[in-house]
Amino acid sequence: MNDIEPIILDFPLRGEWVAPSTPGDKVPSHGTDALGQRFAYDFLRTEINSKQKFKFYKSSNLKYKTIGISINDCYCYKESIYAPASGTVIVVKDGVKEPKYLHPVIDLIKVLIRSLSVNVQALFLPASKINLHKYTGNYVIIKIDDYYAFFAHICTGSISVEEGQILKKGDKIGLVGHTGNSTAPHLHFHLMDSPDILTAKGIPCAFKKYEVLTENEWNLVENGIPRSNQRIRLI
């Protein structure tokens, strides 16, 4: 992936997941080094055995593409997020509301508008004045040793930690949501070298233990970096 040894953490979710965006496939994983997300992951819960690789909702494809679907039809909506290591909560940002319904065209337009807004602000405003909250959605930053873990798009009102709180590995942080620049409920997670996401550089990370489904069997992986073609789980 690069010459830097990844930080090893516990997986921050439970149950079965896929990673549509992962540094296991490409770096930068999101197509940019901006906002400390060079090695970022997106984690999504999807339908098992679906011909559509990342079908993340219970409703029919026709309904999703025409009238849209309820956010409650999404498999990973409001799944719990856990601290992947012990640390201290240094930033909590809540209050961004999430839409009740999803539609592929409408959601894509919203993402493009928010992205354009941030880019325009960057042209005319100092970094300290750029409003990233609506772009990242509700988020939490945890200081772990000398690096920082960033959790984004958290469900409105679900964050269960506060700034200054000392967390133990496995403590609950909040619930997976659909706030900010998101086209579906998911967890965006990455490590960075600074709590200032406007100037931070990304740090690679791997996960201490999880299982990968291979030929209908679950196989243990240690210190691994999930790929987008893998179904992974932690029970």
| Tens-digit pLDDT profile for residues 15-33 | 999 999 999 999 999 999 9
* pLDDT score for 50: 61
| CA dihedral of residues 176, 180, 181, 182 (deg, nearest 10) | 30
Spans in the chain with pLDDT lower than 50: none
Q: Any idea where the domains of the chain sit in the sequence?
A: 7-234
* pLDDT score for 57: 95
**Is 155 buried (19+), middle (13-18) or exposed (0-12) by CB count in 10 A?**
buried
* pLDDT score for 59: 93
Residue 191 is encoded by which pair of tokens?
Answer: 């490590």
51-66 pLDDT, tens digit per residue, is: 677 899 999 999 999 9
My answer on whether omega of the bond before 28 falls inside 30° of 0, hence cis, is: yes
- Say which residues have a Cβ less than 8 Å from residue 192's Cβ, sequence separation at least 6: 36, 37, 147, 148, 150, 200, 201, 202, 203
- State pTM to two decimals: 0.92
Architecture of domain 7-234: Distorted Sandwich (2.70)
Whether the CB-CB separation of 86 and 144 falls below 8 Å is answered with yes
Which residue is it, tokens 């930033």? 91
- What φ, ψ does residue 209 adopt, rounded to 5°? -160, 130
Side chain identity at residue 142, one-letter code: I
* pLDDT score for 54: 85
Residue 145 is encoded by which pair of tokens?
Answer: 């040793």
- Say which residues have a Cβ less than 8 Å from residue 32's Cβ, sequence separation at least 6: 38
Q: Report which of 139, 128, 227, 121 is spatially closest to residue 182, judged by C-alpha positions.
A: 139
